Structure 1
Amino acid sequence: MSVPRFIDGASLPATTPPPLTGPWSPTDTRIDQAVLVPLPAGHAPEDVAVDPDGAVFTGTHEGVVWRLRGDAFEALADTGGRPLGIEHDPRDGSLIICDAYRGLLRLTPDGELHELTREAAGTAILFCNNAAIARDGTVYFSDSSSRFPLSHWRRDLLEHRPNGRVLAYDPASGTTSLVAAGLYFPNGVALTPDESALLVCETVAHRLTRIALPSGAATVLADLPAYPDNMSSAGDGTFWIALASPRVAIAERLLPHPGIRRVVATLPTWMQPQPGKHTIAAQVDADGTVLRTVHSPAGRYPMLTGVRQAGDTLWFGSLTERSIARVPLN
């Protein structure tokens, strides 16, 4: 698929980023003291997953899936694409991998890589991003944009249209179905404990949305002060959201001006609105209520895009760094 040269920006009212106050106050800054665990090679470990034995998994820009066991990394596979979201499937110990270019993959414990799906509802999956696995093995996952692949994700944010969808892969039939469409860059995906709904992070609209199953009806739960990325279940009915940057004021002031944004999208990346260095991990309940936030105001682990709780430890991934990171919760 060729990438559209120009964006078709929507004209929307300007918004003002809310202050980081109340539960969003940066009083807990422990991410600035995170322990960094450097990768043996490559960069941008976008997400992290942890198995019951404590092994940590991530995937890099170069396509390599790594496992950290103890203090040692091991390369498990090369997807030939760009692994983003990674989920450990407790049913068989395999990994479900959202590859931005190859679609939904499964990496089995014997090292075999299987392509599960590359299209849904007659349309190619252009931007496979993050997933959640139901108890029956159904994989719910986000296809963030129907217009722009990962290599041009900034254009989708500047276009500011509902180009994304959430899909469901059924391992029993091998089919992929549409759960919900018309979403603003759907990214992180998690299942509620009773599996009656999905929680979905819409990055472009900086909000948390509930999608009822199987109807696909969407309800906005929260307007967030930062751009959410991946999310994961904490295993106790709560969820962690990785927020890569506070909302960018200039980007929100440009919302009523699609013509200007059209020009901005053609500029070199360094001339476009830039994310802030302050990153946040937020714990929320199934209603979107914020329970706890941890911060990196100094930006010592920037572009935080993945978060996973394993016992009393939070593990992080980043879209730009050469390490994964961890902090103690207590």
Structure 2
Amino acid sequence: MTPRLSVTARTAGPGVLPPLRPIPLGGTGPEDVVVDREGRVITGVADGRILRVRPRGPVHVEEIARTGGRPLGLEVLPDGRVLVCDAERGLLRVTPEADADAGSGSGSGSGSGGSVEVLTDRVAGEPLRFCSSVAAGADGTVYFTASSRRFGHQEWLGELMERTATGRLLRLPPGGGEPEVLLDGLDFANGVVLAEDESWVAVAETGAYRLTRLWLSGPRAGQRDTLVENLPGFPGSLSRGMDGTVWIALAGPRPRPLDWLRRAPGGVRRAAWRAVRPLPIRPRPATRVLGIGPGGRVRHDLRRRRAGYRMVTGVYEHDGMLILGSLLEKGIVVCELPGRA
């Protein structure tokens, strides 16, 4: 079995994240970011809109659809359609507004020009709650996560504090059907990414500060191990770069009080959540992303303190740039990608 690798043991040293250029969107919380075949950034915001904008040049934001819920993780398909994990409506497929005339879906939903189709909103008869992140294989297989079976997306902090470990990694076969549970008992299942050869799929366990890997083919098919552990912050969305780098958005550093609380008895954790639930969330104004190789070795550790951009939950590499999204901010940011190690 591949040995577990610790970020703190393998990182040569941090690098400075280049200056961030903001792109305002007119909406809050672009949690994930992806890029389509035309080089345009696609993201979803808190009011349910799916937006499209070019990362360079004059800012022109297009609304391509509305999900009617809260879009989180995204994946662009080869035909231009977009998979959307909607925390309230389930796993969706969106045909962007400019392409809706192609009639590629029988969509149902509240699209704003673009069509919105529900692929699945239940797992084994149970409503799909807190659908979070998604990745698609070359054959059309869809891998996606549900972060919690108890808490909804608006109470994500409750999941971190109470540590219910009810997250799941799911698989939807090509052409649809019933989702299959691949991994259960995950500690706040979040980002998901496939290896370049699709021999494995990795999922971020935000509450455990690690990436858990499931082998899909080869002699280890069906086995589960740890791709990287002991991360220095909360891993959010994952994406794969041009050279196979797995990019990890770190939503915030590890707070010592929370580390202590998560080791406390369940009654203490529940009481603590009840106490802080009405309080506002104030994440630190720091920005950090990691890039690791397929074996878990750290290639990039990029950070910028007091960047003015908080709670990075999405990261995507494109055309020599890094594009970042946030659960809280009112736009995305882009920066140049430093030279690869």
Q: CA deviation at 1:154?
A: 1.0
Please, which moves more after superposition, 180-189 or 121-130?
121-130
Aligned equivalents of 1:325 and 1:24: distance in 2?
Answer: 26
Matched ranges for 1:34-183 at <5 A: 34-39=20-25, 41-69=26-54, 71-90=59-78, 92-108=79-95, 109-110=99-100, 111-183=114-186
8 A Cα contact 1:264 1:272, kept in partner: no
Aligned equivalents of 1:262 and 1:173: distance in 2?
Answer: 38
Aligned equivalents of 1:216 and 1:174: distance in 2?
Answer: 21
Aligned equivalents of 1:20 and 1:176: distance in 2?
Answer: 36
Aligned equivalents of 1:173 and 1:320: distance in 2?
Answer: 33
What does residue 302 of structure 2 align with? 294
- Residue 311 (str. 1) matches residue 319 (str. 2): yes
What does residue 219 of structure 1 align with? 225
What does residue 255 of structure 2 align with? 248
8 A Cα contact 1:44 1:320, kept in partner: yes
Which secondary structure does the structure 2 equivalent of 1:72 belong to? Answer: coil
Q: 1:150 to 1:242 in 2, by over 3 A?
A: same
8 A Cα contact 2:37 2:80, kept in partner: no
Q: Cα deviations across residues 155-211 of structure 1 (Å, max 9, x unaligned)?
A: 111111321000111232433211111111110100011112111110000111111
8 A Cα contact 2:10 2:297, kept in partner: no
What does residue 257 of structure 1 align with? 264
Q: CA deviation at 1:272?
A: 8.3
Q: Cα deviations across residues 217-252 of structure 1 (Å, max 9, x unaligned)?
A: 321222211110000011322211100111011111
Letter in 1 for 2:84: I
Aligned equivalents of 2:164 and 2:293: distance in 1?
Answer: 28
8 A Cα contact 1:230 1:306, kept in partner: yes
What does residue 283 of structure 1 align with? 291
Which secondary structure does the structure 1 equivalent of 2:62 belong to? Answer: strand
Q: 1:297 to 1:112 in 2, by over 3 A?
A: same
Which secondary structure does the structure 2 equivalent of 1:265 belong to? Answer: helix
Percent identity of the aligned residues? 39
Which secondary structure does the structure 1 equivalent of 2:300 belong to? Answer: strand
Misfit runs of 4+, over 6 Å = 18-22
Letter in 2 for 1:107: V
Q: Cα deviations across residues 281-306 of structure 1 (Å, max 9, x unaligned)?
A: 11111222111121122142110000
Letter in 1 for 2:75: E
Q: CA deviation at 1:102?
A: 0.4
Which secondary structure does the structure 2 equivalent of 1:46 belong to? Answer: coil
Which secondary structure does the structure 1 equivalent of 2:285 belong to? Answer: coil
* TM-score, length-scaled by structure 2: 0.85
**Count of residue correspondences:** 309
What does residue 4 of structure 1 align with? none
Aligned equivalents of 1:173 and 1:321: distance in 2?
Answer: 34
